[in-house]
A and B are shown apart, each in its own frame.
Chain A
Amino acid sequence: NAGVTQTPKFQVLKTGQSMTLQCAQDMNHEYMSWYRQDPGMGLRLIHYSVGAGITDQGEVPNGYNVSRSTTEDFPLRLLSAAPSQTSVYFCASSYGTGRRNDVAFFGQGTRLTVV
């Protein structure tokens, strides 16, 4: 049981490049989400998904795309990287039901630098 796996751990991009951050979970969680963490701003929700085929925008969705073709995977795509997207990105998953013991598990994070 690996939990939530994010790749890569570090990435440097040039402005305008595109890339995909990978996130996979093996806990059969319906709910998955992407956050970015910036100093003094906490974790801000980018996009989330309540199940395969269903995605929705969070607080800061601009410049990012997501899809959820399977329960296990929830990739985050940067369409045209900008320096403002330099951040640490976390993927999380949970059952999303609010039931007891429904806790979000986080990946190790991806530190992205856009130059």
Chain B
Amino acid sequence: AQSVSQHNHHVILSEAASLELGCNYSYGGTVNLFWYVQYPGQHLQLLLKYFSGDPLVKGIKGFEAEFIKSKFSFNLRKPSVQWSDTAEYFCAVLFSGGGKLIFGQGTELSVKP
């Protein structure tokens, strides 16, 4: 079955610390990859996406992600987090052959000022 797994459920960091959130997916075919962010009380917003080409993609607010096909991974990174990055982050995979967008369980990020 198609699935997406996020390794960390809750991450607590201090401001200026570096961030890396893991995401792995099952399936060996063509996929499109996304990271969404949900700030408290708000709906999901697209942070960045990967379709093809350079496996290192840059998104908004200084976030980036690296697609490693051999590891079925799409990890999210940010060199220096800010208090305003406190939110829940979701990895999502659009699997080919049907267009189903499957989400990971989410990672809640708390940044201490």
Q: Which A residues are within 8 Å of any B CB, using their own CB?
A: 31, 33, 35, 40-45, 48, 50, 58-59, 90, 92, 94, 96-104, 106-109
Q: For chain B, give the interface size range.
A: 20 to 34
Q: Residue B87 at the A interface, CB < 8 A?
A: no
Partner of B43, one of A99, A101, A109: A109
Verify B46–A90 contact, CB threshold 8 A. Answer: no
Given the known inter-chain contacts A100-B51, A103-B34, A103-B49, please indicate yes or no for A31 contacting B105, CB distance below 8 A.
Answer: no
Verify A50–B49 contact, CB threshold 8 A. Answer: no
Partner of B100, one of A40, A43, A58, A106: A58
Instruction: State the main secondary structure of chain A at its contact with B.
Output: loop
Q: Which B residues are within 8 Å of any A CB, using their own CB?
A: 6, 9, 30, 32, 34, 36, 43-44, 46, 49, 51-52, 90, 92, 94, 96, 98-106
* New A-B pairs, 10, CB < 8 Å, besides A42-B6, A99-B51, A100-B52: A42-B90, A42-B104, A43-B44, A45-B103, A48-B100, A94-B101, A98-B32, A98-B51, A102-B94, A106-B44
Verify B90–A43 contact, CB threshold 8 A. Answer: yes
Of listed B6, B46, B96, B105, residue having the most chain A CB within 10 A: B105
Alpha-carbon distance between A59 and B6 when the two chains are bound, in angstroms: 17
A-B contact count (CB 8 A): 65
Of listed A43, A96, A99, A107, residue having the most chain B CB within 10 A: A43
Partner of B103, one of A40, A42, A108: A42
Alpha-carbon distance between A35 and B44 when the two chains are bound, in angstroms: 12
Of listed B44, B46, B92, B94, residue having the most chain A CB within 10 A: B44
Residues of B with C-beta under 8 A to A100: 51-52
Partner of B9, one of A31, A40, A44: A40
Partner of A42, one of B51, B96, B105: B105
Given the known inter-chain contacts A45-B100, A106-B44, please indicate yes or no for A40 contacting B105, CB distance below 8 A.
Answer: yes
